[in-house]
């Protein structure tokens, strides 16, 4: 089984976490249409699935996402 370079994994995971954070923060907006909400949830679901397939510690990634969302929402 081929191995994936660690740098690639970290870079990709960081990018996907960022997309999830942006989408989750936007979902807090009550003025979004149903279509916008659906599309944002698709981004979240797909990127979480990608993370789950790529990283060895998926729960730690979810914790990191939660911390990044908290940082985004902090005034």
Read off the pLDDT of residues 1-38 as tens digits, 9 standing for 90 and up: 557 778 888 899 999 999 999 999 999 999 999 999 99
- Rounded to two decimals, the pTM is 0.87
Which residues have a Cβ under 8 Å from the Cβ of 22 and sit 6 or more positions away? none
Residue 60 belongs to domain spanning: 6-69
How does pLDDT run across 53-74, given as a tens digit for each residue?
999 999 999 999 999 999 998 8
d(CA 29, CA 3): 40
What's the number of domains the chain is made of? 1
1 domain residue, yes or no: no
SS3 29: coil
Q: Is 57 inside any structural domain?
A: yes
In this structure, is residue 75 part of a structural domain?
Answer: no
Whether residue 29 lies inside any domain: the answer is yes
């Amino acid at each position: 089984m081929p191995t994936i370079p660690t740098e690639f994994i970290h870079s990709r995971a960081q990018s996907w976490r960022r997309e999830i954070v942006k989408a989750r923060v936007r979902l807090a907006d009550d003025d979004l249409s149903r279509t916008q909400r659906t599309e944002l949830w698709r981004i979240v679901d797909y990127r979480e699935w990608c993370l789950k397939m790529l990283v060895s510690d998926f729960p730690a990634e979810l914790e990191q996402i939660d911390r990044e969302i908290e940082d985004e929402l902090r005034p």
